[in-house]
Amino acid sequence: MPFQLISVDTSVLPTDVLTFYDDNFYQMVEIIVGPAEAKLLEAQGIRSVYSFLNTEDAFHILSIQCSTLNNIKKSICFEADDNTFIVKPGCRNVMNEINHHDFIIRTLNEWFEKHYMELNIRNTSLIENEDFKILFITNGSSEEACILCSCRAKVHLTKFRQNFSLSNYYKHMKSKSCTMIKKKKIINCTTDDQSNIDDDHDSSDDEIPESTASSKRKRFKK
């Protein structure tokens, strides 16, 4: 029987997910994944997206015999006849997708902060679900990911070790075909022009014509 392709749109994740800590982070995990998964992260002291990204396998702790984890195991795992626990594939897949999503967002933000001047863009940032969307496709045990740019281009990401590489999307944004970046350049140019006009107007208001100044001095001269 062939594997079923499952597409996952991560647009349901908050755009400011990287700033979530402690209760806000656990509440987000509970809503998106489930309460058992949130308790699993809390039990390990994984308090934010950054600590989650630095955790190699959040499910590894379930292989340990610990009474504190029993209720979590019952929700997340199958119990085999030999009393060992196996993580349910659905639980692992969703957690992996959140991990990949957060890694992509963080990496993309870091890259843009370093290269926005090279792209001739200032005072702006890339906004998920406005400038781009991330789509994950699960095919059995394999994972694929792509970025849907707002210019309607679909850019496939290659897998490098445990994470996805964004090099293809970087190349796309630098290319002439990415109208999303072009629009940001136009907006920046318009903003700069308006700022220059305002500055010129303020400067002209501060200047008093010499003839007017002389006239005022004559009026008050006794």
Helix ranges (H only) for the chain are 22-32, 35-43, 49-53, 70-76, 89-115, 167-174, 179-206, 210-219
Residue 78 lies in a domain: yes
Q: Which amino acid is at 201?
A: H
The residues of the chain scoring below 70 in pLDDT are 1-12, 140-141, 188-222
Residue 190 lies in a domain: no
Residue 103 lies in a domain: yes
Residue 119 CB neighbours (<10 A): 16
Residue 163 lies in a domain: yes
- What is the count of structural domains for the chain? 1
DSSP 8-state class, residue 31: H
Owning domain of residue 125: 5-174
What is the model's pLDDT at position 15? 75
Nearest-angstrom CA–CA distance, 132 and 134: 7
Residue 162 lies in a domain: yes
Residue 187 lies in a domain: no
N- to C-terminal Cα distance for the chain? 106
User: 97 vs 55, 151, 152, 175, CA distance in Å?
Assistant: 14, 24, 23, 28
At 5-36, the pLDDT tens digits run 444 556 667 778 888 999 999 999 998 889 99
